[in-house]
């Protein structure tokens, strides 16, 4: 005999007070060109911090630079670096990067609770590599779900190491990113999501080869350049001006 579904009860609103807002977890999307201080800025977030670095952890050397240590001191943080596991001589086989990132978050949550770490901030550096992992996963899923005729073509591409996303592949990668961001933003931590930028340009006039910059957006796939930022409470753009010792960094 099936059990009756749990009856949902009305939810009473909380009485308004400053603490309801001041203690709220921040969700920040920090994007911009390379070498504009994104990691430097993210490292100033509340401690302890947990960094998830798809690709490699070289960017974190910023936290040990003389300039950072002089301004902010040594930070309390832990890190998990995730690499795509590929067989020697292969490009497409075993696209495990995305799954490993998911397992890394699960492992962090268990470790943080078990050890009583009290982590305040999750930092993902960076979304560009994470999205490559998602695309590899989507390409592999498309291959596994293909018909026999389609699989013959896809297998030939894989054998030659060709990584060619199709229209449906982009949709799969977008689905992964949407679910990923929605998952992380619901966790009880501050979230800093680091991404590169994407320059949108348009022709000066119809038929012209010359183009002008129209806007700069976070580097996500297709419509997610505008939809993913809506999931964050703050969207910051990093930039640098000047050169040499006269360089200045800024956030807007």
Q: Measured between alpha carbons, how far is 32 from 50 in angstroms, rounded to an integer?
A: 21
pLDDT given for residue 240 in this prediction: 65
Q: Measured between alpha carbons, how far is 117 from 49 in angstroms, rounded to an integer?
A: 10
Per-residue pLDDT tens digits for 92-108: 556 788 889 999 999 99
**Domains parsed from the chain with CATH numbers:** 26-197+232-251 (3.40.50)
Per-residue pLDDT tens digits for 242-251: 555 545 555 6
Percent of the chain clearing pLDDT 70 (strictly above): 65
Per-residue pLDDT tens digits for 199-250: 666 566 676 666 655 556 777 776 777 788 888 888 888 866 555 554 555 5
pLDDT given for residue 105 in this prediction: 94
Per-residue pLDDT tens digits for 9-67: 666 665 544 434 444 788 999 888 777 778 888 888 888 999 999 887 777 777 777 77
pLDDT given for residue 21 in this prediction: 42
pLDDT at 91 over 50: yes
Degrees (nearest 5) of the Cα angle 82, 66, 41? 55
């Amino acid at each position: 005999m099936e059990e009756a579904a749990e009856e949902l009860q009305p939810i009473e609103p909380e009485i308004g007070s400053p603490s309801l807002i001041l203690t709220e977890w921040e969700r920040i999307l920090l994007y911009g060109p390379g070498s504009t201080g994104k990691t430097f800025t993210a490292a100033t977030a509340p401690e302890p911090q947990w960094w998830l670095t798809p690709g490699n952890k070289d960017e974190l050397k910023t936290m040990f630079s003389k300039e950072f240590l002089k301004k902010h001191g040594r930070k309390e943080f832990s890190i998990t670096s995730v690499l795509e596991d590929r067989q020697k001589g292969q490009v497409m086989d075993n696209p495990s990067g995305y799954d490993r990132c998911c397992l890394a978050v699960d492992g962090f949550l268990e470790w943080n609770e078990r050890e009583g770490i009290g982590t305040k901030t999750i930092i993902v550096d960076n979304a560009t590599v994470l999205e490559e992992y998602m695309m590899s996963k989507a390409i592999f899923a498309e291959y596994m779900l293909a018909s026999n005729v389609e699989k013959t073509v896809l297998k030939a591409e894989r054998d030659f190491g060709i990584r060619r996303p199709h229209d449906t592949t982009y949709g799969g990668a977008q689905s992964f990113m949407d679910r990923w961001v929605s998952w992380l933003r619901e966790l009880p931590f501050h979230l800093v999501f680091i991404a590169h930028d994407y320059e949108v340009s348009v022709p000066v006039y119809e038929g012209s080869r010359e183009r002008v910059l129209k806007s700069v957006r976070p580097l996500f796939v297709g419509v997610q350049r505008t939809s993913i930022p809506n999931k964050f409470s703050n969207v910051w753009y990093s930039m640098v001006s000047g050169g040499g010792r006269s360089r200045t960094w800024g956030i807007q």
